[in-house]
Amino acid sequence: MELKKRILIHDIAKHLDVSIATVSLVLNGRAKEKRISDVLAERVLNYVNEVGYKPNQLAKSLRSGKTHVLGLVVEDIANPFFATVARLIERKALENGYHIIYCSTNRDTAMTKDILTMFEERHVDGYVLALPEGLESEVSALVRSGKPLVMFDRVLSGVPANAVVVDGATGMYEAAQHLLAQGYKSIALITIMHGQTQMITRRQGYAQALREHNLPELVSEIELDQEPAQIVGQMESFFQAHPHCEAVLFTTNYLGLYGLEALNRLGWSVPNRIAVISFDDNALFRLYSPPITVVAQPLEVMAEEIIKVLLTALKGAKPTNGMVLLQLTPKLLIRQSSIRPSESTRANLK
């Protein structure tokens, strides 16, 4: 099959017997500014539409220094939290004339370095990043180069980058206090093994609440680089090793989902046998019977603030202290999974 020849701006100028500069000025909306007649401008635009001319975006970006493309890097785009935030960011970016390239890191540092290199080679205008540990030098280099970027969900220690995060310590503290107010004493926390800052702060909130009531911590750290069945099995073993556990907090929604599967396998009913709260909401939590109490993150506000901070940076405006750090407040949504049943209800459910 013969490929159709690409129409160039030179071809348009030659056909219309005008200069390349004239065609370029019309296409860039500068006809009136350069006193090009309406008749000639209309003639150029009509012919452009007739032949289906498409500007060379790479050449255009090289001339302007802008690609109007943003690079978004998250842990796993299939994760409901990241998928929702990415969708909201994309919508708000499009409203402001920017497109998004998505990439997932799968918590792989080497892969993430390759992604950042690819974004640099594609001359993205800005970065929205939720990165694993081990990328401190790479992100610091981006900051020093003046590249507009915003980190979200977590930050990298010692990296002075713009960031939009959620106050996980307060969110988990309030969740633990809610369980304590229900009369639960043996409260477990299931988190991930990696030292991501958002997981550290959530654990700190849990620890503070128990410390104020002179209660011991009961923590299980899960290694995520294993098959789902192994994760569920690890949680089963943890619960079996701690039969006195009355309530459990999960630091992410995917841990919460794995945890519910483990509890179902053990036959531990919620909330009769054990109360459950998860950080991050999920549609399945609302559909589960009973519905699961969550610490919900303000995703719409998060996406809005990420784009707002990034657009400010793209315009070249610099905050007085050199960076922006916004901490958003999560909300405890109390559902049936964390409400302690009455003694009569517990007896009927046994």
Number of structural domains found in the chain? 3
Claim to verify: residue 212 and residue 340 sit in the same structural domain? yes
Is 4 inside a domain boundary?
no
Phi, psi values for residue 91, rounded to 5° = -60, -45
- Residue 45: the pLDDT is 84
Claim to verify: residue 289 and residue 176 sit in the same structural domain? yes
- Residue 263: the pLDDT is 98
Cα dihedral: 97, 101, 107, 109 (round 10):
-100
Amino acid symbol at 222: I
Claim to verify: residue 153 and residue 179 sit in the same structural domain? no
Claim to verify: residue 49 and residue 71 sit in the same structural domain? no
Claim to verify: residue 210 and residue 342 sit in the same structural domain? yes
Is the pLDDT at 63 greater than 60? The verdict is no
Range of the domain at 153: 67-165+299-328
DSSP-assigned letters across all residues of 226-282: S-HHHHHHHHHHHHHH-TT--EEEESSHHHHHHHHHHHHHHT--TTTT-EEEEES--
Any idea what the CATH number is for the domain that residue 25 is in?
1.10.260
Is the CB of residue 253 less than 8 Å from the CB of residue 281? yes
Claim to verify: residue 142 and residue 218 sit in the same structural domain? no
Is 1 inside a domain boundary?
no
Is the pLDDT at 33 greater than 50? The verdict is yes
Q: pLDDT, tens digit, for every residue of 268-320?
A: 999 999 999 999 999 999 999 999 999 999 999 999 999 999 988 888 766 65
Work out the average pLDDT over 233-261.
97
- pLDDT category of residue 39 using cuts at 50, 70 and 90: confident
- pLDDT category of residue 55 using cuts at 50, 70 and 90: low
- d(Cα 134, Cα 136) in Å, to the nearest integer? 6
Lowest mean pLDDT among 55-64, 88-97, 256-265: 55-64
Is 320 inside a domain boundary?
yes
Length of the chain (residues): 350
Claim to verify: residue 339 and residue 225 sit in the same structural domain? yes
Claim to verify: residue 84 and residue 210 sit in the same structural domain? no
Any idea what the CATH number is for the domain that residue 86 is in?
3.40.50.2300
